[in-house]
Structure formats: C-alpha cells, structure tokens
Amino acid sequence: MGKPIVAVVGRPNVGKSTFFNKIAGRRIAIVEDEPGVTRDRIYTEVEWLNHKFTLIDTGGIEPESEEIIPAQMRRQAELAIETANVIVFLVDGREGLISSDREIADMLRKSKKPVLLVLNKVDTKEQSPHYFDFYELGIGDPIEISSALGLGIGDLLDEVVKNFPNEEAEDYDEDVIKVAVIGKPNVGKSSIINKVLGEDRVIVSDIAGTTRDAIDTPFTDGEDQYVFIDTAGIRRKSKIKEHVERYSVIRSLSAVERADVCLLIIDAEEGVTEQDKKIAGFSHENGKGLIIVINKWDLIEKETNTMNQFIKSVRTELAYCEYAPIVFVSALTGQRLNKILDKIKFVANQHAMRVPTGALNEVIGEAMLLNQPPSDKGKRLKIFYATQAAVKPPTFVLFINDKELMHFSYQRYIENRIRENFGFEGTPIRFINREKTGGEK
C-alpha cells in the first residue's frame, strides 16, 4: 500500500492555503537537491511521528466564476473523497457555521472516509464562540487551530495520523505487477488500456491475496498477473469535464502511490507539458518504475530524425527521469502497443531487482579507481562498503567516511556506474549515505 493521502477541503477563504503552507513548511523531500524536479504546491510530502504521507491541496475556487462556485466546491470535495485516506475539513472558527459548510459536510459524511472537522482562525487559547454550533454537522468533535499562528497543528497531525489505514493492510500479492496509467485528460489512457486488455488478456475477477478495490482492473497474460490501478475513473467517462488541470494531477496521485510501474502517457502532438512534468515528478519522488509512452504517433508527420528529436526533447524536459524508457505508440492503429506489456514486465523486474553485495562492491571499487572521489580541505571521500538495502525502488546504503564530502555529481557518477553494470532501466535508484566512524580500513 502506498503512502496515505490527506486532502484539505473547505469553502473559499477559510484558510486552506495558509494551512497547507504551514504544513508544507515541515515537509521532508527525499530528492530535494535534485535539479529539475518540478515543485508544485498541489501536493507536499509530510512526515509526522514517523508516518509519511502526501498532503494534497484540492485548490482554490475561482471567485470570478460566479455561477460555478457550488459545482466547483462539490467537485473539490468529490476529488478529496476519491483520492484521500483522511480528509481535513476546514471551517472558519471566527465567522462560524454557514450554509456552504453544511453542503460540504453532507457530502463528506456520506463518503465513509475519516473526516476531521477543523476550526481554523482560532488565534487565542480561548475556545471559538461558535465551537458548539459545529456539532450540528455530525462530524464529531471540532479540532481548533490557527494556521496563521501555527497553534494546534501538532495535535491535529496526531489525529490525522491516527486515522490512517492499517499499514499492514493487505493489498495485492507481491508478485502482482501494479500499473498506473497516468497522464493528462484526452491523451489516450483509456484507448491504451482497452487495447492492451483487448489483446488476448483475460480480465480476472479475483486475484490472489487481495482486499482489492473495485475500481482496479486485474488481468493476466497467462504468465504473470497484472492490475491496472484505479482505472474506473478512466473507463467511466466523467460527465464533468475536468477543465482544471490540477484535478487530473490529483487523480493520478493515489494511483501512483499504489503502483509499481507508471505509464506516463504523453500526447505526441503536444509534447511534454508542465502537467506531465508534475506527474512524472511524483512518480520519481515516490520511487516508482516509469515508462514514458508517446501516444498518437500516427498524427505526426515523420522525417528522418523525428523520433530522435522527440526523444531529445523529452530527455531535456524530464531530465530527472532519464532512466525511463520511451516508447512511441498509436492506440488508434495499434502500432507497437503489443510491446507495452513486455516493457511493463521488464521495468517491474528492474524495479524489484536485487544485486549481490560482492558484485556491487566490485563495481564501486572500480568506479573509485577510475574516477577519484572528491576531496575537501585535504580530506578525501571514501566509500568503505555498499549494500543494497531495499528494492522497489532499489536503495543502496553507502558506508562512507564523511557525508559532507559526498557531492551530488559523485553520487550521480556512482549511480551511472551501477546502471551500466546492472541495468536498473526504468527505475529510480536511491542512496543512503551512512557515516562509518573509526572508519579507516
């Protein structure tokens, strides 16, 4: 199971952005130093009491578009209900209860998701004069905070964490390959899924070891078991056109969290957009396998170098995922779609691959001989020993003499040597640097 997702909802002006910023200030970012990773405030990674979760901001409601306000609010709440494990429902403790709070509350109550009712703007130690009114919403005890002053935030996060689903909760068996098909609206996600499912694959109604979500689509090619995660939203053509880009990014988040491999579908005519970067960044940060699928290739007029030029621009725009293979397909003509499943299987294996410690240390030893580690003030970096501590994604612990001496560029060099020797195509690689004291060897 992926990291839990927490969504913040509430009517305009209750302080959602202020709240989000306050929490985002505490964010931990695993790949923070990596250049090119697009940071956007749609989501932030948070750690509280050893629990990691993703906080999503369902976004502001545009005050200009008058008639649309109720619909937008409704959509925002729906989105939170669809994607989040815990919902923080923010209301204004100074202004008191108003009718749009009731509307949102009705939707949230019906969702069966854990909802925390949070009175914001309670800037003093005293209880809000409206405190008891909020019980009427039927969501339980209100929690008082001041996002502006940072009061009550810790207690609130304690409550949030308590409501997370059991981390031991069963998902699919280890060897079921979980695939998220992600991308902007209209790039051809459903068409690709349908084509893949159409080709001799058997959709299975039940699959070993699952408490599975009805919106997933498990299938098998006779050899391996797969599941397209969270595809209901894709198959069920939504009536409400999701104009707001943010919505489709958020929709992708929970699917990515649960996936082993993400297929990022890009429209060949449009090329890589900002939104694609956000989604790819999310896959990368969450350590998922990634395949970049350029769809609608039939619409492109080809000259000698068209494909290479396209690859070049994708590599530039998505520089931090250069490990991801790029495939050019057409869901319309079926071109190269038969290769997709093999690619998925391949990347899933790379993502779960473990290399022997002996071979790993040989590669690193050689790497250090070929290209001396950096030094500073007469002290040179030493890597004493390395071991692969985890898979999905492959994670290496490097025991070194001094963390300060490990530069990004050298880490990158080590990563490249590991990739050259072992592959790991399609998966990010993580490093943990550990100082080994008394470390001469």
Ligand X SMILES: Nc1nc2c(ncn2[C@@H]2O[C@H](COP(=O)(O)OP(=O)(O)OP(=O)(O)O)[C@@H](O)[C@H]2O)c(=O)[nH]1
Q: Are 345 and 353 in contact (CB under 8 A)?
A: no
298 binds ligand X per the rule CB under 6 A? yes
Among 16, 277, 284, 288, binds ligand X (CB under 6 A): 16
CB of 90 to ligand X, least distance (A): 7
Give the whole-angstrom CA distance, residue 183 versus residue 111: 26
Give the whole-angstrom CA distance, residue 342 versus residue 196: 11
Give the whole-angstrom CA distance, residue 363 versus residue 421: 7
CB of 173 to ligand X, least distance (A): 28
Q: Is 75 annotated as a binding residue?
A: no
Segment interacting with ligand X (CB under 6 A) among 10-18, 366-374, 399-407, 433-441: 10-18
295 binds ligand X per the rule CB under 6 A? yes
Contacts 24+ apart (CB under 8 A), 140-145: 141/117, 142/91, 142/93, 142/117, 142/118, 143/116, 143/117, 143/118, 143/119, 144/93, 144/118, 144/119, 145/19, 145/118, 145/119, 145/120
- Under rule CB under 6 A, which residues in 140-199 are in contact with ligand X? 146-148, 183, 185-191
Q: How many Å from the N-terminal Cα to the C-terminal Cα in the chain? A: 41
**Whose Cβ is closer to ligand X: residue 65's or residue 357's?**
65
**Whose Cβ is closer to ligand X: residue 115's or residue 187's?**
187
121 binds ligand X per the rule CB under 6 A? yes
**Whose Cβ is closer to ligand X: residue 10's or residue 114's?**
10
Give the whole-angstrom CA distance, residue 379 versus residue 346: 42
CB of 325 to ligand X, least distance (A): 18
**Whose Cβ is closer to ligand X: residue 339's or residue 379's?**
339
Single-letter code of the amino acid located at 419:
R
Q: Is 224 annotated as a binding residue?
A: no
The two three-digit tokens of residue 274, written as one number: 């900002």
Q: Is 91 annotated as a binding residue?
A: no
Among 44, 58, 83, 120, binds ligand X (CB under 6 A): 120
Q: Is 165 annotated as a binding residue?
A: no
CB of 299 to ligand X, least distance (A): 5
Q: Are 422 and 354 in contact (CB under 8 A)?
A: no
114 binds ligand X per the rule CB under 6 A? no
Q: Is 17 annotated as a binding residue?
A: yes
Closest CA to 265 of 222, 234, 305: 234
348 binds ligand X per the rule CB under 6 A? no
Q: Are 9 and 88 in contact (CB under 8 A)?
A: yes
13 binds ligand X per the rule CB under 6 A? yes
Closest CA to 80 of 100, 63, 48, 105: 105
Among 82, 103, 123, 245, binds ligand X (CB under 6 A): 123
Give the whole-angstrom CA distance, residue 297 versus residue 267: 8
CB of 357 to ligand X, least distance (A): 43
14 binds ligand X per the rule CB under 6 A? yes
Strands 217-220 and 202-203: antiparallel
**Whose Cβ is closer to ligand X: residue 185's or residue 374's?**
185
**Whose Cβ is closer to ligand X: residue 41's or residue 407's?**
41
**Site map 375..404 versus ligand X, x via CB under 6 A:** ------------------------------
Under 8 Å CB-to-CB from 188, ≥6 apart: which residues? 265, 267, 295, 296, 331
- Site size for ligand X, by CB under 6 A? 32
Q: Where are the alpha helices (DSSP H) in 306-356?
A: 306-317, 340-351
Segment interacting with ligand X (CB under 6 A) among 8-16, 213-221, 352-360, 369-377: 8-16
Q: Are 189 and 183 in contact (CB under 8 A)?
A: yes
Residues that bind ligand X (CB under 6 A): 10, 12-18, 60-61, 120-121, 123, 146-148, 183, 185-191, 234, 295-296, 298-299, 330-332
Annotated binding site for GTP: 10-17, 57-61, 120-123, 183-190, 230-234, 295-298
